Amino acid sequence: MPATPAPQPLNKLAGTLRHRLLLSIEQFRVLDKVMLAKALTLAEETHAKQSRRPTRENRSEGAPYIVHPMRVALIITEELELREPIAVAAALLHDTVEASKGKVGIAQIEEQFGRPIAMMVAILTKPTFKETDKNEQEQKLKIYHERITQASVETKLVKLADRLDNVRDACDLLDKGFQLRYLEQTRTFYLPIAENSDSYLYDELSIACERLEHELKYG
């Protein structure tokens, strides 16, 4: 029986995804490619010192955070085959405002990338709240979910791609409590949106949820 291949080094993983992403936008118009390269650079700068949660394969450190927005963009370009540069840019930038801790704002996104992308990023940016205040948390998440429900189709697709990548990733996490909360939230809120938005994302999100549930029971 062949040996199980070693996990890809985390820094190499980010480089591989970057290469795939650049190839996936190669057929875009020149100006769109320039804009997307600029969005990728801003995302890389914003997430430069940030990491994902540790996993069973990498218990000491999580992957570079930038792998997440790049994977979300790749779901848009490779899996959905959506050649919409605004959606790809929003996928790359969807966590920049939240993660920058005030260094990057919606006004800056609008100045550099235009109002349509800035509006998508604004809708996708999660609200801040005190972890200890459950009422505030529930209230702000309710408003956030309502914004997603009322958003454009492209914005919903980016959010669903974001959730799909996170659920896939959650299957390998160490925190069972987080996994359970994520599974419940996905099935309660995001699966119904996916069912009414895109059959592929609905199917893939359902499969990812089933895998996550299996990991919770038997992993």
* pLDDT recorded at residue 5: 43
pLDDT along the chain (219 residues), means of 10: 47 92 96 98 95 83 93 98 97 96 95 98 88 80 93 98 97 92 96 97 98 92
* pLDDT recorded at residue 132: 66
* pLDDT recorded at residue 81: 97
> Helix H segments across the chain?
10-24, 30-46, 67-74, 85-93, 96-100, 106-113, 115-124, 134-149, 153-170, 176-185, 191-195, 199-218
Q: Tokens representing 117? A: 């992308």
* pLDDT recorded at residue 60: 74
Q: Closest by alpha carbon to 115, among 140, 89, 134, 135?
A: 89
Q: Where in the chain are the domains? A: 10-218
* pLDDT recorded at residue 46: 96
Second-level CATH architecture of 10-218: Orthogonal Bundle (1.10)
DSSP 89-141: HHHHHTTHHHHHTTSS-HHHHHHHH-HHHHHHHHHHSPPP--TT-HHHHHHHH
* pLDDT recorded at residue 6: 46
* pLDDT recorded at residue 152: 97
